[in-house]
Amino acid sequence: MRFNPAEHTLTFSNGVSVNKAEMERGGFGNLAQTIFNFSSSLHEMKIDERGYALLSAVCLLASGE
């Protein structure tokens, strides 16, 4: 998933782009705002795929404690 700050959209791996309102209507409800905030934060930190994978691994390992 990629965040586009200029259009404020998320683009999924299949090429479909959605904005926050579309995600809310698509069943995500209030969670859409959290997803967009998180995506925007990651974009600002300029995290690439490797960094994201590492962050995901740390979160998975830390959740067991």
The per-residue pLDDT for range 43-60, each reduced to its tens digit, is 899 888 898 899 889 989
Q: What is the pLDDT of residues 19-33, one digit of tens each?
A: 999 999 999 999 999
Element (H, E) at 11: strand 9-11
Per-domain residue ranges of the chain = 2-62
Is-above-0.85 flag for pTM? no
Which residues, in sequence order, are bridge partners of residue 17? 11
pLDDT at 7 over 70: yes
